[in-house]
């Protein structure tokens, strides 16, 4: 019994690390110091994030669908190897290779990384008792924790050149990916493919069927809309952080956007793992969805009125709490209703909806409203209010 418990803990740790790698790659493309004064550098940063976002949204359901057809652990291996290979592109300058890094690196990283959806779908093993939704909280905690760790690493390496920072962070990703591959084979049992549909010459057809399959969950369309608008609220809030110290009069102490962004993701990590332990049937758990929308609205209002660093950081913690709450309640809703035979495709589709909403809030606000910060706070607030109304139309989740 003790050995089995230890193996379970190691399996959870392995899946958490796989998800953390996805978060770390994502945070490599979040702007810490957006160069608003240099149009060329800003455009390079913006289109790099855009390329990564588009490939993530497109390929998350695809990786999930392949995990249904080729096997969960097998696809985790493939994505870990692909992520390590994509990270090697950062070392091109050492080999005197002239590559369009601003285009190739985010494209390859966006295509390769799918650790979050694969880690969650792996836990839905057919013909076995479903893992507790606590595992979902651990995986989300790993995702946000990996994002926060990479942000801190980038911040502490900011004194060196961007190329050296990229090589250093990519080297760490390669090392952790290699370590994760070993642990996957040591602590995760092999899971054969769960679906025999679309195999052979038809293997590339219907790779986005998860959007339709996931509609088996109660009022799925409303919950997908809620998740997307909560992503917009979170993304538009994050887009204001690099600007907050410049356009808002902060008179007491210093304000660092990177600390605010780290607070957002680490708060989301803590909330994810804490809330996932509550029984889904408990009344307080059934109120998490409207609470997340309300907290997001308060965060946007508070950030728009800051006059010192403390309220700015408090608003960031509220925004992170709203992000974690929304993801836990909606993903648990789809997680418990997912068909194990198509779980990868379903959860990949659901995750891609949140990513699409997040980047839809982040990128347009960052590009069009970079000189009018209050409009971005207004967008975040309005998205939160719309999310609240969608939550009411969807009804409280029963699982």
Residue-level pLDDT at 266: 94
- Tell me the C-alpha distance between 338 and 299, whole Å: 32
Q: Given a cut of 90, is residue 43 above it in pLDDT?
A: no
Least confident of 81-90, 216-225, 379-388: 81-90
Q: Given a cut of 70, is residue 178 above it in pLDDT?
A: yes
Residue-level pLDDT at 191: 64
Domains of the chain: 7-189+211-394 (1.20.1250.20)
Residue-level pLDDT at 39: 67
| Cα–Cα nearest to 117, from 5, 255, 29, 21 | 21
Residue-level pLDDT at 122: 82
> Residue 187: pLDDT band by 50, 70, 90 thresholds?
confident
> Residue 1: pLDDT band by 50, 70, 90 thresholds?
very low
- Tell me the C-alpha distance between 170 and 9, whole Å: 28
**Length of the chain (residues):** 399
> Residue 201: pLDDT band by 50, 70, 90 thresholds?
very low
Question: pLDDT tens, 69-105?
Answer: 888 888 898 899 988 888 888 777 676 666 666 678 8
Of residues 271 and 128, the one with the higher pLDDT is 271
**Contact present, 189 and 65 (Cβ < 8 Å):** no
Q: Given a cut of 80, is residue 32 above it in pLDDT?
A: no
Please, which residues have CB within 8 angstroms of residue 6's CB and are 6 or more apart in sequence? none
Please state the rounded mean pLDDT for residues 189-217.
67
| Cα–Cα nearest to 80, from 114, 43, 34 | 114
> Residue 19: pLDDT band by 50, 70, 90 thresholds?
very high
Question: pLDDT tens, 114-153?
Answer: 888 888 888 765 444 345 667 888 899 999 999 999 988 8
């Amino acid at each position: 019994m003790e050995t089995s418990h230890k193996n379970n803990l190691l399996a959870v740790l392995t899946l958490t690390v796989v998800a953390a790698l996805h978060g770390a790659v994502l945070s490599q493309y979040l702007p810490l110091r957006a160069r608003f004064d240099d149009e060329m550098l800003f455009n390079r940063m913006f289109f790099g994030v855009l390329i990564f976002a588009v490939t993530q949204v497109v390929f998350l359901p695809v990786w999930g669908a392949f995990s249904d057809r080729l096997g969960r652990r097998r696809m985790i291996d493939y994505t870990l190897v692909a992520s390590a290979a994509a990270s090697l592109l950062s070392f091109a300058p050492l080999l005197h290779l002239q590559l369009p890094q601003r285009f190739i690196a985010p494209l390859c990283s966006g295509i390769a990384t799918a650790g979050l959806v694969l880690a969650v779908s792996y836990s839905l093993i057919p013909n076995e008792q479903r893992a507790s939704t606590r595992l979902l909280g651990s995986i989300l905690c790993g995702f946000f924790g990996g994002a926060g760790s990479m942000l801190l690493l980038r911040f502490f390496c900011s004194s060196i050149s961007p190329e050296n920072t990229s090589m250093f962070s990519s080297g760490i990703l390669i090392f952790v990916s290699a370590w994760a591959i070993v642990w996957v084979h040591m602590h995760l049992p092999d899971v054969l493919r769960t679906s025999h549909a679309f195999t052979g010459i038809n293997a590339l057809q219907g790779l986005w069927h998860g959007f339709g399959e996931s509609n088996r969950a109660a009022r799925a369309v409303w919950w997908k809309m809620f998740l997307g608008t909560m992503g917009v609220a979170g993304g538009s809030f994050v887009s204001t952080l690099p600007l907050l110290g410049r356009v808002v009069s902060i008179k007491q102490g210093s304000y660092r956007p990177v600390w605010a962004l780290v607070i957002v993701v680490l708060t989301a990590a803590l909330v994810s793992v804490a809330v996932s332990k509550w029984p889904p049937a408990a009344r307080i758990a059934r109120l998490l969805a409207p609470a997340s929308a309300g907290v997001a609205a308060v965060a946007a209002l508070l950030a728009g009125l800051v006059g010192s660093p403390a309220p700015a950081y408090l608003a960031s913690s509220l925004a992170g709490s709203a992000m974690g709450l929304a993801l836990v309640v909606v993903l648990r809703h789809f997680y418990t209703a997912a068909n194990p035979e198509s779980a990868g495709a379903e959860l990949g589709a659901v995750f891609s909806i949140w990513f699409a909403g997040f980047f839809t809030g982040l990128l347009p606000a960052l590009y069009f409203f970079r000189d009018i910060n209050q409009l971005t706070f207004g967008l975040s607030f309005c998205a939160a209010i719309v999310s609240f109304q969608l939550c009411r139309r969807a009804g409280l989740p029963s699982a």
